Structure 1
């Protein structure tokens, strides 16, 4: 059930979906945005005044960074390995970042078009450290739609 218009959702319950598989163990998502170029139209009005109009331009592609705890799941490693070997027909995927309500129902989907992994980073390995090991994947996409 979607939240009423006057309620805000809580940003702690979200997941990543690619190829119909939902990964809910994502701990952080950053950089998720829709952006477009701005075109400046400079002109003179009929009475001779200088005027600048700002018009919407082409949409920009984006990048999103996802962080999760390091597990035995090697899907991120396989995905980036395929991109490094140029298997782009297999690597480019459609997917979504999904925000869930407190009952686990999807309330918002950020659909990513032609997404593929740019980089994978493993957290610091430090002797004596008791923090959780993480892996960060940066996914680049050509377009984002909100559903």
Structure 2
């Protein structure tokens, strides 16, 4: 039996691809999950015992938070502005969060359907601070698929 290549399982860097455009240098991705409702079916068996069966329900929409270093790229701000002013036909986008290995080869894609920005947060501004200033965007999406 071959041993798994654990070097490939290290998420070295991440990217967000939206409408075919790659937004690289994402520092952190959190909250990425697939979830669905649970339906409880309560019934009695033939011999009179009470049981509860759990059945899969509808998929739930989700939210993911992406953090990157602040740069001159204003793509996040433009996207948030479209959603803020109700231009949802241009704000809702298809995209994917891509995880790369050390060699820059994509190892996983998380495809997001009808994603749009819920919020954009700029890191703390402190006089004399030497930490990197970041921007954090929260995307809400209707469906996620793993490719």
Q: Do both share a fold (TM > 0.5)?
A: yes
Is 1:119 the counterpart of 2:108? The answer is no
TM-score, length-scaled by structure 2? 0.94
- Aligned twin of 2:45: 45
Cα distance in structure 1, aligned partners of 2:60 and 2:102: 33
- Aligned twin of 1:14: 14
Cα RMSD (Å): 1.2
- Aligned twin of 2:28: 28
Cα distance in structure 1, aligned partners of 2:78 and 2:23: 15
User: Residues 25-83 of structure 1, C-alpha deviation per residue, up to 9 Å, x if partnerless?
Assistant: 10000000000000010000000001010000000000000000000100000000011
Matches within 5 A, 1:1-147: 6-8=4-6, 9-147=9-147
Unmatched 5+ residue regions in structure 1? none
SS, match of residue 32 in structure 2 = coil
Unmatched 5+ residue regions in structure 2? none
Cα distance in structure 2, aligned partners of 1:103 and 1:85: 40
Q: How far apart are 1:21 and its partner, in Å?
A: 1.1
8 Å contact from structure 2 (residues 113, 143) kept in 1: yes
Q: Which runs of 4+ in 1 moved over 4 A?
A: none
Aligned residues: 144
